[in-house]
Structure 1
Amino acid sequence: MVKLIECVPNFSEGRRADVIEAIVKPFKETKGCYLLDYRADPDHNRLVVSLVGEPEALEESLIKSAKVAIENIDLNKHQGAHPRIGAVDVIPFVPLRNTTMEECVEFSRKFAQLFHDETKVPVYFYEESALRPERRNLEVIRKGQYEVLKEEIIKPERHPDIGEPKLHPTAGATVIGARKFLVAFNVNLHTQDVNIAKAIAKAIRSSSGGFSAVKAIGLELKERGMTQVSMNIVDYEKNALYRVLELIKAEAKRWGISIAETEVYGMVPAAALLESTSYYMQIADFDPNQVIELRLLDLLGRD
């Protein structure tokens, strides 16, 4: 019985094509590791990679890739719209096939120790792997980003879970953990006023009284002359994409602006897209099993 885990490592590099290709190379070459997608955003200055693999293959390829990133990324010189504390910023593990959340938590902690031993980068645990309840949320760990953490890591409440209370001189720190599948969903706005994007993000995110399982920030996309509401939908079954999008449309209308486009970053469950497709097409009593490819995959995947 093959155990499969999804992993979505985020690296603080979205502009240098040669470095990006060097980072993803181990994922292409390691047997048992399958590179599904990788996308680099120059405004965010961030690379998001989607992998699926057996635990041993993920472990091997991630260590090789991390060493490339650490060698080539200097957080003291890094600038980008997306929050970050490390060259290898976050490594989440998601149970996929024949793997439980408990097994993913155990694997994440074992991997984190190996990661630190090999790189000397301090590690924080988050989500299901968190050792402190307040650290379940990534934004708590990343508060103030690299620049603030560099000064505050000596405080007991900001000590890493693995490693000494000091950042790697150029690679910062890394956040590792096990979590549920999330959808990285962005909405780009026809305005260069980032304060509008921030106001809309505040209206829809959970921490400000918006949707229960939505995290959102407002960002500036200088190269595209737009702004963005960048979101993580941490439970797409509770918060359908169409519902989130419709509220953003309503909020944008209040400011007299429109939506330019939306983006889905990385992989996404078919159910998350089909629910919104059904809504916008007004399909009555739609069942995902009506999609022939999904039905065939279900039949082929049965033991």
Structure 2
Amino acid sequence: MTSGRAGLRLAACLLNISEGRRKDVVEKVARAAVCEDHGQEHLRATVLNIFSDYDYNRSVITIAAPVDWLDIAETLVCRVPGCSVFLFGQAHLPERQSLVQRRKQLGWFNRRAFNAATVIPDVGLSPTLRHGLTGVGASPYVMNCNVTVDTQDLATAKAIAAFIRGSSAGGLVGVQSMAFPHNGQIEIACNVESFDDHDTRWAAGDKSGYVSYSILGRTYHYVSPWLIEASIKKSARDHGVSTVGTALVGFTPEECARCAAYALTSGVREFWRVRGGVFM
């Protein structure tokens, strides 16, 4: 993403970590994104948002920095010995396989199929129990939008998730969706990828409900949160269930660019605190 106001070419990093219950640990990880080892702040990075999920013990930390400053995989391996990294998306050359494709290759979704001893990382050492396995990828902006359905029937929720999934016939372009039990109900969790005009599904489909933005003269599109919510509501209704809430985790691309430009030009390294703490 770019910001004419700041004259910057910016990149956003959505850092997912397996910790959502110990606030001090999550904040320490976020602080490390903008500080050197001796505690001084970086001049060229900001933490825009922290979202923590207690039930699933995970957090998503949104970091923004000029695009030429990011060198995540190599830096991580150098600073944390023992790390094991796999690449996906535009970082996975020449294949450019998606996160879902790489996870399936590694047996990520099936613990019985995952064998750390057989994993050959793209960067770093073979995975260990202490350091686990880290995915690092690059893509146009990815947004997260979650809709909760009022049912405990996982099969029904999976059918709803499949209905909107971009890989399904008539699905929403750029949407990857899964169903997870959450607080006695089920959450339809959606990764919403931006895509360009070359996407054949976009060229042939209904363009209403999609939002467009430009980066360096190139136009990208993404599904609006309201269309995701409306589509899930329709499918849920067809299955005899209702929706009970929608959450946008972080920002739309435009919001992210505006907040990042403000934070970086104003010297606000922990923007998430300015916005009022840990929030969705």
TM-score norm. by structure 1 comes to 0.64
Q: Which of 137, 149, 152 pairs up with 1:189?
A: 149
What whole-Å deviation, never above 9, does each CA across 1:87-129 have from its counterpart, x for those lacking one?
xxxxxxxxxxxx5xxx68xx54xx3123223322111111111
- Provide the C-alpha distance between the structure 1 equivalents of 2:64 and 2:243, rounded to a whole number of angstroms: 33
Query: Larger helix proportion, structure 1 or 2?
Result: 1
Name the structure 1 match of 2:51.
39
* 3-state secondary structure, aligned to 1:250: helix
Deviation at 1:152, TM superposition (A): 5.9
Instruction: Report if the CA contact (8 A) 1:153-1:160 is conserved.
Output: no
Instruction: Report if the CA contact (8 A) 2:192-2:222 is conserved.
Output: no
* Corresponding letter in the other structure for 2:108: Q
Deviation at 1:142, TM superposition (A): 2.0
* Corresponding letter in the other structure for 1:262: T
Q: Are 2:108 and 1:124 aligned?
A: no
Q: Are 2:127 and 1:167 aligned?
A: yes
- In structure 1, list runs of 5 or more residues that go unmatched: 55-98, 273-292
* Corresponding letter in the other structure for 2:190: M
* Corresponding letter in the other structure for 1:225: G
CA gap of 1:35–1:195, structure 2 versus 1, over 3 A, is same
Identity percentage over the alignment? 27
Deviation at 1:172, TM superposition (A): 1.2
Q: Are 2:25 and 1:19 aligned?
A: yes
* 3-state secondary structure, aligned to 1:180: coil
* Corresponding letter in the other structure for 1:211: L
- Provide the C-alpha distance between the structure 2 equivalents of 1:191 and 1:23, rounded to a whole number of angstroms: 35
* Corresponding letter in the other structure for 1:246: A
* Corresponding letter in the other structure for 1:187: V
- Provide the C-alpha distance between the structure 2 equivalents of 1:185 and 1:31, rounded to a whole number of angstroms: 30
Name the structure 2 match of 1:58.
none
Which moved further from structure 2: 251-260 or 207-216?
A: 207-216
| RMSD of aligned Cα (Å) | 2.9
Name the structure 2 match of 1:145.
108
What whole-Å deviation, never above 9, does each CA across 1:191-231 have from its counterpart, x for those lacking one?
1222222111111112333222110000100xx22111100
* Corresponding letter in the other structure for 2:16: N
Name the structure 1 match of 2:238.
254
- Provide the C-alpha distance between the structure 1 equivalents of 2:22 and 2:185, rounded to a whole number of angstroms: 22
What whole-Å deviation, never above 9, does each CA across 1:35-74 have from its counterpart, x for those lacking one?
21101001232110112224xxxxxxxxxxxxxxxxxxxx
Q: Are 2:176 and 1:215 aligned?
A: yes
CA gap of 1:15–1:131, structure 2 versus 1, over 3 A, is same
* 3-state secondary structure, aligned to 2:56: coil
- Provide the C-alpha distance between the structure 1 equivalents of 2:117 and 2:178, rounded to a whole number of angstroms: 24
Q: Are 2:245 and 1:245 aligned?
A: no
Name the structure 2 match of 1:50.
62
Deviation at 1:239, TM superposition (A): 2.4
- In structure 2, list runs of 5 or more residues that go unmatched: 1-6, 36-40, 195-210, 212-220, 266-280
* 3-state secondary structure, aligned to 1:208: coil
Higher relative contact order (CA 8 A, sep 6+): 2
- Matched pairs, number: 218
Instruction: Report if the CA contact (8 A) 2:146-2:247 is conserved.
Output: yes
Name the structure 2 match of 1:277.
none
Name the structure 2 match of 1:204.
164
- Provide the C-alpha distance between the structure 2 equivalents of 1:15 and 1:136, rounded to a whole number of angstroms: 32
CA gap of 1:45–1:132, structure 2 versus 1, over 3 A, is farther
Instruction: Report if the CA contact (8 A) 2:17-2:58 is conserved.
Output: yes
* Corresponding letter in the other structure for 1:131: L
Query: Larger strand proportion, structure 1 or 2?
Result: 2
CA gap of 1:202–1:2, structure 2 versus 1, over 3 A, is closer
Instruction: Report if the CA contact (8 A) 1:14-1:45 is conserved.
Output: yes
CA gap of 1:12–1:253, structure 2 versus 1, over 3 A, is same
